[in-house]
Structure 1
Amino acid sequence: MSSTIPNAAEPAGPPLESPAGNDAPSPPEFSQRMGHPKPLWMLFMTEFWERFAFYGIRWALVLYMVAQFHAGNAAGEAPSNLIYGAYLALVYAAAIFGGYVADRVLGYQRSILLGAVIMAAGLFMIAMPDEQIFKFGLATVICGNGLFKPNISTMVGKLYAVSDGRRDAGFTIFYMGINLGGFLAPIATGFLAEQVFGTQAMPAYKYVFIASGIGMVLSLIWFWFGRRQLKGIGRPPEGDGGKQKVLYVFIGALVAIPAVYFLLSMGAAALQWFVLLPMFVILCALLLIEGIREGKVQRDKAIAMLIIFVFNVMFWMFFEQAGSSFTFLADKIVDRDIFGAGGFVFSNAWFQSVNSLAIIALAPVIALIWIWMGRRKVEPSIPRKFSLGLIFNGLAFLLLMFALSSLVDDVGKIPFWTLFMVYVIQSVGELCLSPIGLSMVTKLAPVRLVGFGMGGWFLSTGIGNNLSGIFAGHVSGTGGMTVQSAHAGYTFGFWALLIAGALLFLLGPLIQKLMHGVK
């Protein structure tokens, strides 16, 4: 699961010299809780509820679209995958605009609050069983999440000085909040849809979306009452016409929703070539120009960051099969009757919790491994940790290749444990890449454009997610997923990830040199 950046208001205190030689403001003095600034825990819970809302609907979207808008016909899998991939892509692409609005217009706090209101409205809209309202609801969620997501992550980075050794640990704790929400949400929404208001054969998807909307409202309330702890971080200067600006941004978001609806409907391939790719090229150019303006060291850091962005696209293209092709795989090809003879059927929704559970369980283990290797001076560099992320992602697809070629039973099913372990192996890859990526952007991006840089991180993730929908559409084919189509698609995924991971591993020393000591 994926989830940082200067704000419009300068916190009190003398500036600290950043590694790039630019002045970066130091944070105010905070009371400490468990070794970290107290506001970290408020942001932790705000993000927990927002991720509860976001991941609560993840397992249901493609299944709902096939059931509601394609009358349950398997031919609806491919178009549903494409809509899902485009939705995720636009969620992350919107982070660029949300980061810019926070940097230049509203400040982070107001952007978060406004984004929460809009996102909650969108989640309640998709509960209505009308295809057009559903798509407008997704467009509304996209606009709200764009204002919320990059800026709540940014606030974490603002709690620490650039040189504070606890910074990475703070992001890791924050990342745990993301995954705690991601773990509980599918369990809760799956239980509501399949046990309380429906059955496993006929889930009541409406209550999935309503429960997620309530989760978003709780996130809004948590941040509203907790933001005083931030001591002005993320607030714009006094007397800047703040309420009027909030109104203007709100009107802008309302105008943007139909535009996002159009982008959502234009088709994943057209979205990729005519929207996402040009945005990515322009963003990379702006970050590079700013890096050049700030000097050779910052230029090199910007180049290193942009190279990592490209490999980030590849990682998420295959990782995000979780909400698309893996969902259909679990529904049609995985034997979810764990004890046989109808003993206990593992809910499709619960597979979405495996990733978060693995992150929560394995994050301390991976952190200890890095510490152990660091003491022996053999800890991998940031680029090589990223390469390990790609390789572990590839190993998950290797397991699926094996299962779909050698473990298929007489009724065309593969064992439950195989898909369960795919999520676990992918989670190891994610731990090598995603938490480090969040912190990396705050260290490598030009100081004046850190929010924009975080938008670039999310845009690269979004491009990967759009490609994930296109890839999942090919896995399902025109008539729905089969053992043969899944095996062919996942074989391609394995080789693509292995080659990309090996290439990044070889480029690691060059990229690390460009980072000028950033670790």
Structure 2
Amino acid sequence: MSGTANTTASSALPEFPQKMGHPRPLWMLFMTEFWERFAFYGIRWALVLYIVAQFHGGDAAGEAAANRTYGAYLALVYAAAIFGGYVADRILGYQRSILLGAAIMASGLFMIALPNEEIFKLGLATIIVGNGLFKPNISTMVGKLYATGDERRDSGFTIFYMGINLGAMVAPLFTQWLAKKIFGSETLPDYKMVFIAAGVGMLISLVWFWFGRRQLQGIGRPPENSADRSKVLYVFGGALAAIPVMYFLLAMGALALQIVLFIMFFGLCALIIVEGFREGPVQRDRAFAMLIIFLFNILFWMFFEQAGSSFTFLADKIVDRNIFNGGTGGVADLVYALSGERVFPTSWFQSINSIAIITLAPLIAWIWVAMRGANPSIPRKFGLGLIFNGLAFLLLMYALSKLISPAGLIPFWTLFAVYWIQSIGELCLSPIGLSMVTKLAPLRLVGFGMGGWFLSTGIGNNLSGIFAGAVSGEGGMTVASALSGYQFGFWALVLPGALLFLIAPLISKLMHGVK
């Protein structure tokens, strides 16, 4: 799931009422983010399936195009976060940026419910712009609730991170129930109800923050000298102008978008390197170390973010989701009680990562502390992240070559386990990424460094769509195409992961003591 930025708070904080050992506004932000993530992840399982069903007449040949559209959409969501943070910092303030972003995002979610391909893409572009204003700034608000050095800060972000994962966990369960049980069927899901439900969830997030922001006692408002409300109209006008730009970037195709993203990334890297040289050899070395890590971060997300694309088609077509196997009991009874189905719903796979993160995060954190002097360095944790991600693909390789049933299906448990293994990799890599940037970026360009992190993740997401398109091939996913693609994924992750593990001492030397 998405990370959060550990942003330095103001030194002069209001006396917040406390609730469960933390400032009361934390719980308001928790629920605001819960509903936003409900909206964002509620549509995740349905997007590629809807594109194939609605705009390609159900023809499996449309899978590749759907995968590429999904990857480009995710990439632009991350790229837009760079500009959303700038708007909040310099123009609008955090509260107004969050409110405006929520309203725009909700509009986009309702737009994609309309069965027209051009309006659908315009709706995705609207979601991208709205999320760019919302997502980086709600995370920043959490950091502003705590004074510098407050020992509760990390646990506050952990609580907030649980809001992210709870929203992401609940959303696919609920939206699948609406689409297949209330308004549609297993064979003819009513996908528009998924998008409408997500839009309603976004409106709840907006209303929750609108009334709850009074608890913030001015935190996140624009400075007095820039509190002119007309700036809201200016930013709204800028956001409206940005929507057709995002639409154009989506429409130009994933390959052309990749060129644009790389140009942006190399330009940003050049600025960071130049500033690093200006600040001296130590900061220069740290800048190089950070940029090396960014390259491996691209690789991680290229293969991790198959959940909303190729893994969805894998679950729908090649995984044996009949977990009853002629009987009942345990998980099977729970699935039947909740869904009324004798098979594990495709959408429910989207919740496994969140459950794994909630379950494993405390354990992984304890392991790092227990290791003390043997605690791996930042580069080695990134290497472990890549390797665990690769091991997930190794399991798929084994299943697709050795465990195929006469019906051409792989066992349910294999994809279930893949999500858990990938989640271990995510916990090795993602939580330390933003913190690493604040420590390694040149002092005057920490914001650009954070932008580089988001942009590298976005590039990885766009590449994930391109890779997923190759896995599906021209005629739709088959056992052979999946095996070939995931075999490539395994080697493309494990070899760089092992390399990063080996060169970690050299990168650590460039970091000059940063842990």
TM-score, normalization: structure 2?
0.92
Q: CA deviation at 1:263?
A: 0.6
Residue 270 (structure 2) pairs with residue 285 (structure 1): yes
**Distance 1:509-1:162 versus aligned 2 partners, 3 A rule:** farther
Question: Is contact 1:88-1:465 (8 Å) kept?
Answer: yes
Q: Alignment partner of 1:345: what SS?
A: coil
Q: CA deviation at 1:271?
A: 0.6
Residue 41 (structure 2) pairs with residue 41 (structure 1): no
Task: Name the stretch that deviates more: 163-172 or 230-239.
Answer: 163-172
Per-residue CA shift, 1:47-78, capped at 9, x if unaligned? 11111110000000000000000000000000
Q: CA deviation at 1:295?
A: 4.6
Structure 1 residue aligned with 2:333: none
Question: Is contact 2:5-2:434 (8 Å) kept?
Answer: no
Question: Is contact 1:386-1:432 (8 Å) kept?
Answer: yes
Task: Name the stretch that deviates more: 33-42 or 215-224.
Answer: 33-42
Report the Cα distance in structure 1 between the residues aligned to 2:319 and 2:486, rounded to whole angstroms.
Answer: 15
Q: Alignment partner of 2:122: what SS?
A: helix
Q: CA deviation at 1:31?
A: 4.7
**Distance 1:283-1:163 versus aligned 2 partners, 3 A rule:** farther
Per-residue CA shift, 1:113-152, capped at 9, x if unaligned? 1111110100010011111110000000001111111222
What is the one-letter code of the residue matched to 1:212? A
Structure 2 residue aligned with 1:70: 56
* Aligned residue runs from structure 1 range 120-159, under 5 A: 120-159=106-145
Task: Name the stretch that deviates more: 501-510 or 114-123.
Answer: 501-510
**Distance 1:98-1:6 versus aligned 2 partners, 3 A rule:** farther
Structure 2 residue aligned with 1:351: 349
What is the one-letter code of the residue matched to 1:378? A
**Distance 1:416-1:144 versus aligned 2 partners, 3 A rule:** same
Residue 221 (structure 2) pairs with residue 254 (structure 1): no
Structure 1 residue aligned with 2:424: 428
What is the one-letter code of the residue matched to 2:52? V
Report the Cα distance in structure 2 between the residues aligned to 1:382 and 1:109, rounded to whole angstroms.
Answer: 33
* Aligned residue runs from structure 1 range 220-299, under 5 A: 220-273=206-259, 275-299=260-284
Question: Is contact 1:31-1:37 (8 Å) kept?
Answer: yes
What is the one-letter code of the residue matched to 2:356? A
Q: CA deviation at 1:291?
A: 4.1
Question: What's the Cα RMSD here?
Answer: 2.2
* Aligned residue runs from structure 1 range 57-456, under 5 A: 57-161=43-147, 163-273=149-259, 275-340=260-325, 344-374=342-372, 377-456=373-452
Per-residue CA shift, 1:63-97, capped at 9, x if unaligned? 00000000000000001111111111111111111
Question: Is contact 1:59-1:349 (8 Å) kept?
Answer: yes
Q: Percent identity?
A: 75
Determine which of 489, 492, 499 is the counterpart of 1:493.
Answer: 489
Determine which of 481, 493, 502 is the counterpart of 1:506.
Answer: 502
What is the one-letter code of the residue matched to 1:360? I
Per-residue CA shift, 1:298-338, capped at 9, x if unaligned? 44433332222211111110011100000000111001111
Question: Is contact 1:333-1:412 (8 Å) kept?
Answer: yes
Report the Cα distance in structure 2 between the residues aligned to 1:110 and 1:449, rounded to whole angstroms.
Answer: 24
Task: Name the stretch that deviates more: 99-108 or 123-132.
Answer: 99-108
Structure 2 residue aligned with 1:470: 466
Report the Cα distance in structure 2 between the residues aligned to 1:418 and 1:499, rounded to whole angstroms.
Answer: 23
Report the Cα distance in structure 2 between the residues aligned to 1:444 and 1:163, rounded to whole angstroms.
Answer: 19
Report the Cα distance in structure 2 between the residues aligned to 1:37 and 1:288, rounded to whole angstroms.
Answer: 39
Q: Alignment partner of 1:321: what SS?
A: coil
Question: Is contact 2:312-2:346 (8 Å) kept?
Answer: yes
Report the Cα distance in structure 1 between the residues aligned to 2:189 and 2:421, rounded to whole angstroms.
Answer: 29
Report the Cα distance in structure 2 between the residues aligned to 1:36 and 1:30, rounded to whole angstroms.
Answer: 9
**Distance 1:443-1:229 versus aligned 2 partners, 3 A rule:** farther
Question: Is contact 1:4-1:442 (8 Å) kept?
Answer: no
Q: CA deviation at 1:450?
A: 3.6
Question: Is contact 1:99-1:454 (8 Å) kept?
Answer: no
Report the Cα distance in structure 1 between the residues aligned to 2:444 and 2:32, rounded to whole angstroms.
Answer: 26
**Could you list the runs of 5+ residues in structure 2 that have no partner in the other structure?**
328-340
Q: Alignment partner of 1:193: what SS?
A: helix
**Distance 1:268-1:303 versus aligned 2 partners, 3 A rule:** same
**Distance 1:285-1:31 versus aligned 2 partners, 3 A rule:** farther
Q: CA deviation at 1:224?
A: 2.0
Task: Name the stretch that deviates more: 237-246 or 165-174.
Answer: 165-174
Q: Alignment partner of 2:74: what SS?
A: helix
Structure 2 residue aligned with 1:2: 2
Question: Is contact 1:11-1:232 (8 Å) kept?
Answer: no
Report the Cα distance in structure 2 between the residues aligned to 1:30 and 1:444, rounded to whole angstroms.
Answer: 32
**Distance 1:61-1:281 versus aligned 2 partners, 3 A rule:** same
TM-score, normalization: structure 1?
0.92
Question: Is contact 1:150-1:455 (8 Å) kept?
Answer: no
Q: CA deviation at 1:286?
A: 2.6
Alignment: residue pair count: 502
**Distance 1:452-1:390 versus aligned 2 partners, 3 A rule:** same
What is the one-letter code of the residue matched to 1:154? T
Task: Name the stretch that deviates more: 289-298 or 132-141.
Answer: 289-298
**Distance 1:372-1:407 versus aligned 2 partners, 3 A rule:** same
Q: Alignment partner of 1:239: what SS?
A: helix
What is the one-letter code of the residue matched to 1:79? A
Per-residue CA shift, 1:346-380, capped at 9, x if unaligned? 10000000011111111111111112112xx1111
Question: Is contact 2:10-2:147 (8 Å) kept?
Answer: no
Q: CA deviation at 1:225?
A: 2.4
Q: Alignment partner of 1:121: what SS?
A: helix
Residue 459 (structure 2) pairs with residue 459 (structure 1): no
Task: Name the stretch that deviates more: 110-119 or 394-403.
Answer: 110-119
What is the one-letter code of the residue matched to 1:301? R
**Distance 1:166-1:295 versus aligned 2 partners, 3 A rule:** farther
**Distance 1:272-1:4 versus aligned 2 partners, 3 A rule:** same
Question: Is contact 1:5-1:151 (8 Å) kept?
Answer: no
Question: Is contact 1:313-1:464 (8 Å) kept?
Answer: yes
Q: Alignment partner of 2:226: what SS?
A: coil
Q: CA deviation at 1:443?
A: 3.5
Structure 2 residue aligned with 1:19: none
